[in-house]
Amino acid sequence: MTDAKLIHSISTRPQSLFDRVCNPTAGYCETFTSPASPRKHWQSIMQALEAMGPDYLKEQQLRAMRRRHEDGATFNPFEDPSEKTSTWALDLFPLPLTSEEWHTIESGILQRVNLLEKILADVYGPQELLKNGQIPAELIFANPNFLRPCHGITPAGNRFLSFYAADLYRDTNGEFKVYRDYGSQPAGLGYALENRIVISRIFSDLYHTTQIRRLAPFFHTLHTSILERNGLTDKDPGIVLLSPGPESRTYFEHALLSRYLGYPLVEGQDLTVRNGRVFLKKLAGLEPVEALFRQVADNVSDPFALRRQTADGVAGLVQAAREGSIDIINPLGSGFIDTPVLSTFLPSLCQLLRGEELLLKEDPSWWCGTADGRNHVLANMTALLVEQALDRSAKYPDIHDLQAAITSAPHCFMARQPIIPSNSPVWNDGVISGQSTLLRVFVCATADGFTVMPGGLAITADDINTLVGDSPERQQSKDVWILSDLPVEPFSMLAGLKTAAEFNRSSDLPSRVADNMLWLGRYLERAEGQIRLLRSIFKRLSGEARLQDIPELKFLLRLLNAISPASGEIDDETIPPYKELMSSLHNALYTRENPASVVAILWKVQEAARNVRDRLSLDCWRVVNHLEYSLASPTADPLELLEDTLYNLSAFSGLAMESMTRGLGWRFMDMGRRLERAMFHTSILNVGLPMVCDESRSALEALLEVSDSIMTYRARYRTTFQLAPVLDLLIVDETNPKSLAFQFSQLAEHVEHLPRQQRRRFSSLEERLALEMLTAARLLDLTDMNCGYNSTTHTHLTDFLLSMEKVLLDFTQQITAHYLSRVPTTPHFSTYNSIGGE
The pairing of strands 291-294 and 327-329 is: parallel
Torsion of CA 714, 715, 716, 718, to 10 degrees: 60
- Residue 807 to residue 54: CA distance in whole angstroms: 64
Confidence of residue 109 (pLDDT cuts 50, 70, 90): very high
How far from chain centre, in Å, is Cα 380?
44
Q: Examine the pLDDT at 80 and tell me if it is beyond 50.
A: no
Confidence of residue 741 (pLDDT cuts 50, 70, 90): very high
H or E element, residue 457: strand 457-461
Q: What percent of the chain has pLDDT over 70?
A: 86
797 CB-near residues (< 8 Å, 6+ apart): 689, 727, 780, 782, 785
The count of other CB atoms within 10 Å of the CB of residue 401 is: 10
Confidence of residue 12 (pLDDT cuts 50, 70, 90): very low
C-alpha distances (whole Å) from 237 to each of 223, 225, 261, 288, 313 are 10, 12, 11, 10, 22
H or E element, residue 378: helix 371-379
How many CA atoms lie within 13 Å of 615's alpha carbon, on the beta-carbon side?
29
- Residue 318 to residue 188: CA distance in whole angstroms: 26
Residue 511: what pLDDT? 85
The CATH architecture to which 365-418 belongs is 2-Layer Sandwich (3.30)
Torsion of CA 243, 244, 246, 249, to 10 degrees: -100
Residue 789: what pLDDT? 56
- Per the DSSP assignment, residues forming a β-bridge with 412 are none
Residue 21: what pLDDT? 66
Residues of CATH 3.30.1490.270 domain(s) within the chain? 365-418
Contact indicator for 86, 251 with CB cutoff of 8 Å: no
C-alpha distances (whole Å) from 238 to each of 91, 279, 287, 698 are 37, 10, 8, 60
Check residues 148 and 832 and name the one with the higher pLDDT: 148
Residue 570: what pLDDT? 62
- Residue 713 to residue 706: CA distance in whole angstroms: 13
C-alpha distances (whole Å) from 740 to each of 64, 706, 765, 797, 825 are 45, 14, 20, 13, 27
Encode pLDDT of 801-824 as tens digits: 999 999 999 999 999 888 875 444
Mean pLDDT of the chain: 85
Check residues 314 and 25 and name the one with the higher pLDDT: 314
Among 213, 256, 227, 225, residue whose Cα is nearest residue 491:
213
How far from chain centre, in Å, is Cα 172?
38
Encode pLDDT of 136-163 as tens digits: 999 999 999 999 999 999 999 999 999 9
- Residue 472 to residue 575: CA distance in whole angstroms: 52
Strand, helix or coil at 109?
A: helix
Q: Examine the pLDDT at 22 and tell me if it is beyond 70.
A: no
Confidence of residue 77 (pLDDT cuts 50, 70, 90): very low
How many CA atoms lie within 13 Å of 258's alpha carbon, on the beta-carbon side?
24
Residue 796: what pLDDT? 86
Encode pLDDT of 156-202 as tens digits: 999 999 999 999 999 999 999 999 999 998 999 999 999 999 999 99
Lowest-confidence segment of 47-61, 74-88, 278-292, 782-796 by average pLDDT = 74-88
Instruction: Average the pLDDT over 67-85 and give the result.
Output: 58
Q: Is 799 exposed, middle or buried (0-12, 13-18, 19+ CB in 10 A)?
A: exposed
Residue 611: what pLDDT? 86
Check residues 546 and 291 and name the one with the higher pLDDT: 291
Residue 688: what pLDDT? 85
Instruction: Average the pLDDT over 308-319 and give the result.
Output: 86
Residue 494: what pLDDT? 46
Strand, helix or coil at 269?
A: helix
> HEC string of 292-341?
EEECCCHHHCCCCCCCCCCCCCCCCHHHHHHCCCCEEECCCCHHHHHCHH
Contact indicator for 443, 451 with CB cutoff of 8 Å: yes
Check residues 443 and 259 and name the one with the higher pLDDT: 443
Q: Examine the pLDDT at 70 and tell me if it is beyond 80.
A: no
Encode pLDDT of 412-459 as tens digits: 999 999 999 999 999 887 788 889 999 999 999 998 899 999 999 999
Instruction: Average the pLDDT over 12-25 and give the result.
Output: 61
Among 145, 178, 156, residue whose Cα is nearest residue 337:
145
Confidence of residue 758 (pLDDT cuts 50, 70, 90): low
Contact indicator for 90, 64 with CB cutoff of 8 Å: yes
Residue 182: what pLDDT? 95
- Residue 838 to residue 830: CA distance in whole angstroms: 8
